[in-house]
């Protein structure tokens, strides 16, 4: 417990020091017509997730060295991209390389099953980018991360699948980031930046990877189902609209809530947290612990969330179209 308190204090100090560096070197996020904010804000505050992982390693003995190398690589490249925009190809190469490090740490780089490894790599990198796409309003990245990490910590208490101290240290980093970002629109001290959203995505996917491998059950991905539905269905929608997926946009359900419907950022973030926690805790405490029940629960949750997303878009997407039309006048 004393170590956790020390880590928490050091993380707050590290974040405050980063703010001074970001201010000194003008690492900022300027709003544009696609943004959900209207003021200049410091970018890259999510570097705290990388710092937290290094602090955990320093205090607890570098238990997962290849994971740490991969995280440092992908977060480092993402940070450079936050400061000076990099080509998509460079970011993708870094993300796949980092995923390979994670897979090596997980012990699943089997050349005899190369096609399965390749599919898994694509899914890992794809999921990383979906989580990154969902980082568009105050509080949602750190808040949703807590909604994923807390159920993970609960499950891990019973099975001891992964080092609990890594989960707790990441929760502490998320709480520190919440102090400065989980605020109403226009009040955030900093944004996560790609270094934060990609970094926390990499950590959460690694932790889920350990859990899925040791239980031989991929339905634990339900801990990311709310982001998965909004992220994946929005990508499908944009493909149907023949849009460049690399271009900035405001078509996610959470963005329409925050922008077109004028729901406060904190309220939207809390809604996503609440839904994910309800689904995850139901999975842990209500769903019988058998593979068939896990699958039925996951399919049911996926169906309900998908229908909710479609109904929401049918009712409110026209407001976004009106907003886009106003930009042309």
Q: Are strands 41-42 and 28-29 parallel, antiparallel or unpaired?
A: antiparallel
pLDDT at 211 (0 to 100):
97
Q: At what angle do helices 265-285 and 291-327 cross, to 10 degrees?
A: 170
User: Is the pLDDT confidence value at 157 over 80?
Assistant: yes
Find the largest Cα–Cα distance for the chain.
59
Return the higher-pLDDT residue of 321 and 30: 321
Query: What does the alpha-carbon distance between residue 272 and residue 300 come to, in Å, rounded to a whole number?
Result: 18
User: Is the pLDDT confidence value at 114 over 90?
Assistant: no
User: Is the pLDDT confidence value at 101 over 90?
Assistant: yes
Prediction pTM value? 0.95
Contact predicate 239/135, CB 8 Å: no
Give the count of domains, the chain: 1
pLDDT at 77 (0 to 100):
98
Output the CA torsion 40→53→220→290 (10° steps): -150
Query: What does the alpha-carbon distance between residue 53 and residue 203 come to, in Å, rounded to a whole number?
Result: 9
Average pLDDT over residues 295-306: 98
Q: Which helix (H) or strand (E) holds 28?
A: strand 28-29
Query: What does the alpha-carbon distance between residue 164 and residue 132 come to, in Å, rounded to a whole number?
Result: 25
For 25-34, how does the pLDDT look when each residue is reduced to its tens digit (9 = 90+)? 989 887 765 5
Average pLDDT over residues 96-117: 92
pLDDT at 217 (0 to 100):
96
pLDDT at 186 (0 to 100):
83
For residue 29, the SS3 value is strand
User: Is the pLDDT confidence value at 273 over 60?
Assistant: yes
Radius of gyration of the chain (CA): 19
CB atoms within 10 A of CB 270: 16
272-300 as b/e, with b when 16 or more CB fall inside 10 Å?
A: bbebbbebbeebeeebeeeeeebeebbee
Among 7, 38, 76, 307, smallest CA distance to 184 is for 38
- In the chain, the percentage of residues whose pLDDT exceeds 90 is 86
Contact predicate 251/238, CB 8 Å: yes
Range of the domain at 323: 2-327
pLDDT at 248 (0 to 100):
83
């Amino acid at each position: 417990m004393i170590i956790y308190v020390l880590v928490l204090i050091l993380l707050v100090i590290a974040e405050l020091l980063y703010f001074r560096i970001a201010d000194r070197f003008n690492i900022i996020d300027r709003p544009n017509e696609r943004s959900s904010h209207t003021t200049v804000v410091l970018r890259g505050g999510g570097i705290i997730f990388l710092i937290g992982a290094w602090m955990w390693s320093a205090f607890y003995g570098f238990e997962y060295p290849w994971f740490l190398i991969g995280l440092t690589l992908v977060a480092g490249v993402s940070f450079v991209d936050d400061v000076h925009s990099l080509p998509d190809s460079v970011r993708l190469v870094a993300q796949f390389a980092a995923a390979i490090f994670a897979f090596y740490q997980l012990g699943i780089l089997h050349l005899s099953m190369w096609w399965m490894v390749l599919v898994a790599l694509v899914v890992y990198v794809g999921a990383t980018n979906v989580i990154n796409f969902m980082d568009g309003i105050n509080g949602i990245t750190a808040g949703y991360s807590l909604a994923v990490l807390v159920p993970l910590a609960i499950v891990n208490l019973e099975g001891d699948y992964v080092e609990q101290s890594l989960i707790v240290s990441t929760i502490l980093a998320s709480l520190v980031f919440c102090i400065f970002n989980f605020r109403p629109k226009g009040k955030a001290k900093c944004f996560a930046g790609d270094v934060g959203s990609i970094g926390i995505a990499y950590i959460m996917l690694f932790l889920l990877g350990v859990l899925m491998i040791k239980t031989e059950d991929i339905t634990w991905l339900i801990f990311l189902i709310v982001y998965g539905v909004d992220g994946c269905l929005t990508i499908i929608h944009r493909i149907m609209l023949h849009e460049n997926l690399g271009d900035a946009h405001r078509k996610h359900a959470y963005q329409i809530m925050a922008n077109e419907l004028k729901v406060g950022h904190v309220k939207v973030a809390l809604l996503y947290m609440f839904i994910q926690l309800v689904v995850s805790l139901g999975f842990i405490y209500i769903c019988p612990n058998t593979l068939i029940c896990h699958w039925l629960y996951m399919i049911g949750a996926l169906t309900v969330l998908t229908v909710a997303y479609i109904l929401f878009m049918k009712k409110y997407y026209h407001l976004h179209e009106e907003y886009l039309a106003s930009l042309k006048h």
